[in-house]
Amino acid sequence: MIVKEEFLSRLRKIFDLNLYEVRVWTALLSRGVSTAGELSSISDVPRSRTYDILESLEKKGFIVMKLGKPIKFVALKPGEVVERVKRNLVKDAEDKSKRLEKLKGDEVLSELTNLFTEGVKYVEPSDLSGSLRGRQNIYNHLDMMVRDAEKTVTIVTTAEGLNRKLEALMPSFEKARKRRITIRIAAPINQTNVRIAKELAKVAEVRNLEGMKARFSIVDSNQVMFMLLDDETTHPNYDIGVWINTPFFARTLEQLFELAWQKMKQVR
């Protein structure tokens, strides 16, 4: 059996398998039914590891063990594997979510919070900064900033970025609104995002930003998050954001933004 390494690499990423697992699985797919010894020879996986790999694949829903001797393993249809893996992922995510939810009232969280609070006492405000790689990580951090906001949230984004804000931040925007946080969002408004702009206008003041392309956020005139790359030409995995706790720069940037904000047309 000859399977290109590029194809194996894609399978590993899609199904979250290690190299030995993907080799044994594709080897079994090529045979339909096979023994561990045969799969070891076909896949070039050490015989001492093959049974462990097959047991792992069985637990993950990729294969079935056939009753009888010698022990054989049966490949499932790829379409069925996809459905099983999807169900297992959903169940696993739900279980992990429940465990994390229980932490909210647990002493473990209190201990962790104490560690963080004590540690922050010895940190200069200007040292609280960092870079974030990947759009999902950027939005996770921005979501945290919105949830922790005490007074104001200012967001400047692109036309496409406005669409993403609704999906990623709307729940936190709604909660911030209930806490009477002032939320301002500026972005180019066009036919592709006017509906989104009106939806966001329910929880924030949204204005049309014309003639400028920027991506940054300011929270409480203290924290600044700005993106370094053009979201139209950058893959989400390679997007980069920089977060800084800097009242001096945050207030200066907010004052400059205020001049532009007054000239923008509000979306209703």
pLDDT, tens digit, 9 for 90 and up, residues 104-130: 777 777 777 777 666 655 555 555 678
225 pLDDT more than 60: yes
| Whole-angstrom distance, CA of residue 174 vs CA of residue 264 | 23
11-15, 141-145, 159-163: least confident range: 11-15
* Residue 121 to residues 34, 112, 118, Cα–Cα distance (Å): 61, 15, 5
Q: What is the DSSP letter of 77?
A: P
Comparing 79 with 124, the larger pLDDT belongs to: 79
pLDDT given at position 116:
65
| Whole-angstrom distance, CA of residue 94 vs CA of residue 175 | 23
Which tokens is 262 given? Answer: 């007054």
Q: With cut-offs at 50, 70 and 90, classify the pLDDT of residue 86.
A: confident
240 pLDDT more than 90: yes
Q: With cut-offs at 50, 70 and 90, classify the pLDDT of residue 171.
A: very high
| Whole-angstrom distance, CA of residue 3 vs CA of residue 45 | 14
14-28, 66-80, 143-157, 190-204: least confident range: 66-80
- The CATH code that applies to domain 5-90 is 1.10.10.10
Domain ranges for the chain, please list them.
5-90, 128-267
| Whole-angstrom distance, CA of residue 18 vs CA of residue 124 | 42
Phi, psi for residue 240 in degrees, rounded to 5: -130, 130
Same fold, 5-90 and 128-267: no
Q: With cut-offs at 50, 70 and 90, classify the pLDDT of residue 100.
A: confident
Query: Which residues are paired to 219 by β-bridges?
Result: 153, 223
**5-36 residue pLDDT tens:** 888 888 898 888 999 999 999 999 998 899 99
pTM of the model: 0.62
- The CATH code that applies to domain 128-267 is 3.30.870.10
Phi, psi for residue 181 in degrees, rounded to 5: -80, 135
Antiparallel, parallel or unpaired: β 216-219 and 205-208: unpaired
pLDDT given at position 97:
86
pLDDT given at position 197:
94
Torsion angle of alpha carbons 35, 39, 45, 50, nearest 10°?
-20
Q: With cut-offs at 50, 70 and 90, classify the pLDDT of residue 2.
A: low
pLDDT given at position 96:
86
Please provide the average confidence, as pLDDT, over all residues in the chain: 88
pLDDT given at position 127:
54
- One-letter amino acid at 96 equals K
Q: How would you write 228-246 as a 3-class SS string?
A: CCCCCCCCHHHCEEEEEEC
pLDDT given at position 164:
92
pLDDT given at position 105:
72
Whether the Cβ atoms of residue 32 and residue 66 lie closer than 8 Å to each other: no
User: How many other C-beta atoms are found inside a 10 Å radius of the C-beta of residue 66?
Assistant: 13
Q: With cut-offs at 50, 70 and 90, classify the pLDDT of residue 184.
A: very high
